[in-house]
A and B are shown apart, each in its own frame.
Chain A
Amino acid sequence: MRQPYFPLLLLNVSQSDQFLSRTFLSDTSILFHCSQIEAMAGVMQKFILASMIMWVAPMAILYGFNHHIIPGSGQLSSSSQTLLSGFLAVISVNLVIVFYIIMAMKEPANRESQPDPAFLAEAKASINQSATTTSNPDAQSRDKVE
Chain B
Amino acid sequence: MAGSSSWSRALMQISPYTFASIGIAISIGVSVLGAAWGIYITGSSLIGAAIKAPRITSKNLISVIFCEAVAIYGVIVAIILQTKLESVPDSQIYAPESLRAGYAIFASGIIVGFANLVCGLCVGIIGSSCALSDAQNSTLFVKILVIEIFGSALGLFGVIVGIIMSSQATWPAKTA
Contacts and interface: CB of A to CB of B under 8 A. Distances in A.
Contact of B58 (A43, A79, A83): A43
B163 A51 contact: no
A31 B14 CA distance: 68
Nearest to B72: A93
A74 to B, nearest CB: 15
A89 interface: yes
A65 to B, nearest CB: 9
B101 to A, nearest CB: 11
Nearest to B145: A101
A93 B69 CA distance: 7
Interface string A91-127: 0011001001100110101101100000000000000
Contact of B156 (A1, A51, A90, A113): A90
Interface SS, B side: helix
Given A36-B54, A90-B73, A78 B170 contact: yes
A1 B58 contact: no
Give the interface size bracket for B toward A: 20 to 34
A1 B159 CA distance: 39
Contacts of A93: 69, 72-73, 76
Given A97-B69, A110-B55, A113-B55, A82 B77 contact: no
A113 B56 CA distance: 13
Contact of B84 (A1, A2, A42, A82): A82
Contacts of B50: 1
B163 A43 contact: no
A30 interface: no
A79 B160 contact: no
Interface string A74-89: 0000111011011101
Contact of B72 (A55, A79, A101, A107): A55
